[in-house]
Amino acid sequence: MNLTPEQKELGRRNFMRALAGTPAVAALGAAAVLEGPVRGGPVRVGFVGLGGEGRVLLEQTDARHAEVVALCDINPTQLKRSDEVLAKAGKPAARHYADWKEMLEKEKLEAVVIATPLWTHADVTVGALETGHHVLCEKMMAWDVASCERMADAARRTGRILEIGHQRFYNPMYQAAYEGIVKEGRLGDVFHARLAWHRNGDWRRTDDLPAPDYSPAPWGYPDFEHLVNWRLYGKYSRGLIAELASHQVAITDWFFGGTPEAAIGSGGIYRYKDGREAWDHVYLVFEYAQGRTATFSSIQSNAQDHYYEAFYGTRATLIFSGESEAYLFEEGGGQKATGVEVAAKGAGPVSAASESRAADAAGRSAAGSAAAGARVNAYGLEVSGFCASIRTGVPLKCGPLRALGSARACLAAWDAVDKKTRVVLPALA
């Protein structure tokens, strides 16, 4: 998805022109940042899981909206790095725990932010909800559909708030594009979306042992390799489909106004034959109602296209690139592209640790560009929005139902690849 500098520049003007005079334009830039403290004071929050994703959420947490009281991780190295994140931001130190149940019992918390490996999402989330805590849990919702439904049911039963971390819903660029372009019908009838997330790397993490005699066995991991590289093993992960596709499918559901009816898939371990179980190349087709189709590809052998979502309509094409730029092509107008790069307020060097980041994952330092800031800033808006929902009842932007729809589709796609067949999804209840 390569555009010339001239196309991009023209695009920036036209994208903004499409939003001019609409309420959607207010969603862009600083206008989307929650100002001032949340009514009732900051929400007392504990974090469970302080790996890459957890540290990005921790770093982007606004102290006006959330008070970080406690940190929980079974890896002491991650707790140490999280202490450094808090210190760098000038925030008070938080108490440490290895057992999330002990943290919930001993601390007077209102909410929990969960960024643990996928297979643990349901147990930690349900445990937190049932002890009276609100929960922001990272994507994908859970390892299987039954676990997703258990989480949603626990939220209903307890009356607690459950948000799932699909941060694009909090990204001002996506909000503005939906409100001012998609919802207004400016794309015409959209029959096809193309989703891609391409990288050239093995996805393998390295880390220092917390201590020579450290063992994660009590927590269900036979060795340190399985703990650090849990994404590569089927017991804990759903691979590229859960970690990457779930984000883009959730946005496609949003823009299409529905969830897939069937999934077809192909993939395998083609490049990295190193004992991993997660496929390193995946190709998916999602079938929606009314003849709409979305395709997804994720490869680990070439990074040329990076990652993007493209929606092809009878009147125009809308493309999001890297969560930081949007382009609008008018149909019949040649290759006239329009786009806007959304600058985050106070964007500077960031410690980007999300697995969703293509080139700056797991604690690497990202360039201090406005684009990088805009991507990561959505995490802060997500945490602040979660806190605002707790304090004032502001509706969640994602919520369990949307997250469940994306998870169901991705898990069906997993089965489609695994069984080499077309998988039909039952309608959501």
152 part of a folded domain = yes
More confident residue, 374 or 75: 75
* Residues 302 and 213 both lie in one domain: yes
CATH number at residue 405: 3.30.360.10
374 part of a folded domain = no
- Domain holding 290, by residue range, is 5-27+169-356+401-424
- Which tokens hold the place of 257? 């106004």
Please, is 88 exposed, middle or buried when counting C-beta atoms within 10 Å of its C-beta (0-12, 13-18, 19+)? exposed
pLDDT digits (tens, 9 = 90+) for 349-368: 222 234 544 333 333 333 33
* Residues 290 and 225 both lie in one domain: yes
- Which tokens hold the place of 119? 């297979």
- Phi, psi dihedrals of residue 381, rounded to the nearest 5°: -65, -35
Domain end, chosen from 166, 199, 226, is at: 166
375 band by pLDDT with thresholds 50, 70 and 90:
confident
* Residues 191 and 133 both lie in one domain: no
Contact indicator for 412, 296 with CB cutoff of 8 Å:
no
344 part of a folded domain = yes
> pTM of the full predicted structure?
0.90
378 part of a folded domain = no
pLDDT digits (tens, 9 = 90+) for 188-206: 999 999 999 999 999 999 8
* Residues 236 and 153 both lie in one domain: no
Q: Which H or E run contains 285?
A: strand 281-287
Mean pLDDT of the region 177-191:
95
- CA quadruple 169, 171, 176, 182: dihedral positive or negative? negative
Half-sphere exposure of residue 147, counting CA atoms within 13 Å on the CB side?
18
Least-confidence region, from 22-36, 84-98, 415-429 = 22-36
Least-confidence region, from 142-146, 161-165, 365-369 = 365-369
Amino acid (one-letter) located at 354: S
384 part of a folded domain = no
Domain end, chosen from 118, 148, 166, is at: 166
* Residues 293 and 151 both lie in one domain: no
Beta strands in 221-280 (DSSP E): 262-268
* Residues 50 and 149 both lie in one domain: yes
222 band by pLDDT with thresholds 50, 70 and 90:
very high
Three-class SS of 354-373: CCCCCCCCCCEEECCCHHHH
pLDDT at 27 (0 to 100)? 63
* Residues 134 and 234 both lie in one domain: no
* Residues 227 and 274 both lie in one domain: yes
19 band by pLDDT with thresholds 50, 70 and 90:
confident
Q: Tell me how far CA of residue 204 lies from CA of 3, 239, 267, in angstroms.
A: 31, 12, 19
Domain end, chosen from 133, 166, 199, is at: 166
Whole-number Å distance between alpha carbons of 159 and 176: 30
Residue 377: which of 139, 66, 28, 92 has the closest Cα? 28
363 part of a folded domain = no
Beta-bridged to residue 307, according to DSSP, are 197
pLDDT at 350 (0 to 100)? 26
Q: Which H or E run contains 405?
A: helix 399-419
Q: Indicate the average pLDDT of the chain.
A: 88
**What is the number of structural domains in the chain?**
2
387 part of a folded domain = no
257 part of a folded domain = yes
